[in-house]
Structures are given as C-alpha cells and as structure tokens.
Chain A
Amino acid sequence: MPVKSVRSVLCAALLVLLALVTALPGHAQGSAGGAMPLPSDQAFQLTATRLADGNVRLAWTIAPGYYLYQDQFALRQGQADLEVPPIEGMPRQKDDPTFGVTNVYHDRAALTVPLARGPVTLEVHYQGCQENGICYPPATRHINGVTLAVSAPGDHATTALAGQWSAPEPPKPSGAIVIAENDGGMVGSLLAQGGVPMLLGSFMLFGLLLAFTPCVFPMYPILAGTIARQGEVPTAGRGFTLSLAYVLAMASAFGLLGVAAAWSGQNLQMALQSPLAIGVVSVLFLVFALSMFGCSRCNCRPPGSRASAASAAAGAAPCPPLPFSASPRRSSSAPA
C-alpha cells in the first residue's frame, strides 16, 4: 500500500473519530425529576358500559408507568358493600424488598357488576400509584345507573396557591461541560487549601506517581532509545536535554488533547467508550501493527524522532486519567 494511501486512511479514520466525538451529546448526570404525575382521572381512565345481559362493565385504561392495586378495588351501593367480582386483566406481582409482595394491574383492568337501570348510584373505589413516583389517595367514583356517567364526588378546589410552585423542566442535554461549583472536586479543594502553588505541586506529585503506572511502561524503552542512540555517548546533560524535550513534547501532546476535549464540550470519556470509537481505534492499531510487520510501507521513523512522543501519547491514552478531571454536569434547568 503506498504511503499516501496509508496517510489518507489514517486521516479518514481520525476524522471519523473526531466527528463521532463531537456529535455525541453530553450525558446529564443525575436527574431533577420530570413533570408532575398525571391527575388520577388521566392516570386511571374509568369508563362504564352496559352489556347485552344488562350488567355493567367497568373498565380502567391505565396510563403507561402507572398501576392499580388488585386488593384496593371496592364497590358500594347505598349503604351496602358489594362483593368485588374477579378482575379482568393480567395482574403482575410486584415483589420489592421495601414494599413486600403486591399484585397490581398495568395497562388495563375491568370488572363486570349487576347494576339496575334506574336512579341508583354505584360507588367504585380503587387506588393506584405512579411507578417510582407517587401513590394516589383512594379514588371514589360514582356511576349513574341511568346514564352510566362517571363522576367524582366532592373534588377539592385547587386555589391560586397551586401556581406558586411548578415542576422543574426535564433535564436538557447540555452543550457544554460545566464545572460544578464547590462540588468537592480535587482542583477546587486544592485551590482552597493552598492556592496555585499547592495545585501545581500536587499535579507535579501525581504526575510523578503516574510515571510508575504500568501503562506508562511502554514509554520507557522509547525514552531509553532516545537517550542511548546508536553510536553516541550519553552524558548526563545530553540525557537531561533529550528527556526534557521528550517530556515537553509529551506534555504538549496531552495538553493539546485536553484543549481539544474541553473545546468539544463533550464528555469524551463516555464518547471514547462507545463501540464505534473503540472499533475505529482498534482498526488504527491494526494498521500500525501491519506496518510493523512490513505489510504496508508506512515510513515509521526510529525512536527519538518527533513522531515518538505523539505515538507514545497514543499508547498511553487508554490509561486511567488523573483524578483531576472535573465532573461534568448538566446546566441548571431554568424553570418556566
């Protein structure tokens, strides 16, 4: 494969990776809860219909994410409690360590009761909850024996007081990484403790510690090769200069990556763990490996070249990040 073709493949792969990284939305961490639960009559829509045999069928259409308790259906007519007939529908057992075992109906429930055609009122009681939301007080609805109209007796009037509070807006995908104020992050606490010297000193210390993590080991032979090049006598001064050049190049490479990450406004850690990103990087490594076997004529320079720092940076990229990364969070949602 000609060198130009290899370069264009690599460029294309990098562009795909960059596009992928910038296109992925940031993920909000945490949730401030969405809209308030539906009113009871919307969560559990009750209808009554007269069947051919004269009985009345009560049917509940249950909104997604809501359920009715099997043991909370009750019927009354006049002063008498009526026996609740078998409920039609698919009861599901909820077995929660906090709540115990309960049978509930999702989607729909129905029952059929005898109800005379006349000026009688059937009182229907039922109770349900919104999954992981609220539990409703027991609902009482009246069914008119003539019209089969469903009515709610004595609903409480909401006053203007209700307008004083509103549901927060659902979380929006944030376009930028926002560093949470006083989030207990290491940078903030170091600054608070000892100012900039403390911050720089700590970075230096953690940087040194990072040099002893296994994922930095691949860089050692690169640096050793740079210092002890063939045919040259290494001296302390030359070693220091070469090391400094190498370290500065490495730091610049990581610095530029950091700037690019911040500029993208995305949570790159999450984006780079996507299957597509991992796939693209795997292909890149495969291409590099093939070139080492001589399958392609990529003009790889010997250790000590300008490219070594960048390739070492790529080799160290899968290492765990320093514990300084600011935690991204979504912007505070502005209420309506």
Chain B
Amino acid sequence: MTGLSRRHALLAIGGAILAAPFTGRRALAQSDDLSKEMILNDPAAPIGGNPKGDVTIVAFLDYNCIYCKKSAPELDRALKEDGKVRLVYKDWPVIRPTSIDGAKLALGAKYQGKYEAAHRALMAIPGAGISKEKMRKALQAAGIDMQRLDADMQARSAEIEAIVRRNMAQADALGLTGTPTFLVGPFMVSTLDYKGFRQVIADARAEQSDGTQ
C-alpha cells in the first residue's frame, strides 16, 4: 500500500538512492535484506529486552501509531517480568508524515546508546500526528544529548536511512497491514495487553521447544 506519508517518507529519506539505477549488486543486497535472518538478526537494528533471550519479538512500530503507544508499556512489563525475551525494534514510519522524523530521531539516539530511552520518550507522547518539535522536546526531557543526536544523525544519515528502508521493504515483503505488528517466535500478532503478551510468549516458547525435540 502506498500512502501519502510513505511517499513523503521515501522522498525524504532516500530520494537520491532510490533514483539510482539498480545494479546487480544492489538487487542482491536487497534480496538479502528480505531474508528471515535479516528480520530477526539485522546487526543494525536496535535490540531490547534480553539480547540472549530464547524467544525473539520483532516489533514493527511507528511513533504516530496510537496502538503502538498503548501496547508499549504492556510489552515492556511483559519483557521485564519474563526476562528471557529478545526484542528487535523495527522502526516502520508509515502512519503520518512526521513518523519518519520520529524513526530517524530514535535511530540517531542509538549511537549514544540511548535508543530505548528515546523510544520510550517518543512512545509516551499521546496521540497521532506529533510534530517533530514536540518529539525533540520529549527526547531532550528524557536526557538525550541533542547536540550529539544532531551530529550523529548527520554523520550516519545514510546508515539510518538504510535501516528505515530495509524495515519498510521487510514489512512489505511480510505483507504487514499496519502498526503495531509483532512477530513473536512463529506468531504474528498486533496490539496485546500484558496478559496477551505473556501468553503469546509462552506459546512461542512451547512451539520452539516442540520444534527442537
């Protein structure tokens, strides 16, 4: 599905790259991007929870998505109490035009080791259609070094754009309909409450142990 915001986002983050002709090498790289391995273990993707956890949750999220914001604290609680779940963040900015700003700000904070702090601050802003200024204020309040963030976002812009583009391609390849979408072990779910997350984590764990026996 091509939406207005996605078009804006794509134009904003990588017009020049998208306009470039696809060489054989690029096509190959893109096909690698769409592998299960890259969805679960993209080395550039921010990781939360327990990095050595036995169950992996891949979370496709947007900072203008109201249900992402609703489920974020529930997921946090479930992860904290379980203690053995690895969380892979996939910023998938598709809901509103400023979503791309949120994704880039959060990914930029990764370089000062504060992706999760930025993520939580952005998810804590209520509503959709959040302005970039409001996002920046929330990050500042959360203790993000804004000067360093701006510098990192400039110096690493190509890397950040590549992550977002890769996430978008993966979401399209998966046929995702919207945000939030969570891949929990072999399961795909959307908004859940704490109990729901605990249940699907338990189900995924049981399924994985069945598969290895």
Contacts and interface: CB of A to CB of B under 8 A. Distances in A.
B191 interface: yes
Contacts of A133: 67, 190-191
B198 interface: yes
B97 to A, nearest CB: 9
A29 interface: yes
Contacts of A137: 1, 3, 5-6, 94-95, 178
B3 A138 contact: yes
A156 B1 contact: yes
Interface string A153-175: 11111110110111110010000
A135 B95 contact: yes
Interface stretch (A95-103, A111-119, A275-283): A95-103
A29 B195 contact: yes
B147 interface: no
Given A31-B195, A33-B192, A134-B191, A335 B3 contact: no
A78 interface: no
A135 B203 contact: no
B4 A161 contact: no
Nearest to B170: A161
B146 interface: no
Chain A contact residues, majority secondary structure: loop
Contacts of A157: 172-173
Contact of B67 (A29, A135, A152, A164): A135
Interface residues of B, number: 50
B127 A100 contact: yes
Nearest to A31: B196
B2 A154 contact: yes
Contact of B200 (A33, A98, A135, A139): A33
Given A100-B127, A139-B1, A165 B186 contact: yes
Interface in B171-205: 172-175, 177-181, 183, 186-193, 195-196, 198-200, 202-203
A129 interface: yes
Nearest to B35: A161
A199 to B, nearest CB: 25
Interface in A300-336: 332-335
Interface in A1-49: 29-33, 36-40
Nearest to A37: B177
A63 interface: no
B126 A99 contact: yes
A130 interface: yes
B180 A31 contact: no
Given A133-B190, A165-B186, A125 B174 contact: no
Interface in B1-27: 1-6
A150 to B, nearest CB: 14
Given A32-B199, A36-B190, A133-B190, A138 B128 contact: no
B187 A166 contact: yes
A131 to B, nearest CB: 9
Contacts of A334: 207
B142 interface: no
A178 B193 CA distance: 22
Interface string B55-81: 000000010011111100000000000
Contact of A100 (B1, B126, B174): B126
8 contacts: A33-B189, A38-B177, A98-B126, A99-B127, A132-B67, A137-B94, A167-B187, A334-B207
Given A135-B179, A137-B5, 17 more contacts: A32-B189, A96-B66, A127-B95, A133-B67, A133-B190, A134-B67, A134-B179, A134-B190, A138-B95, A139-B3, A155-B1, A156-B173, A158-B173, A162-B174, A167-B187, A168-B189, A332-B203
**10 closest pairs, A vs B, by CB?**
A30-B195, A158-B175, A138-B3, A156-B172, A134-B178, A137-B94, A32-B199, A165-B188, A33-B189, A100-B127
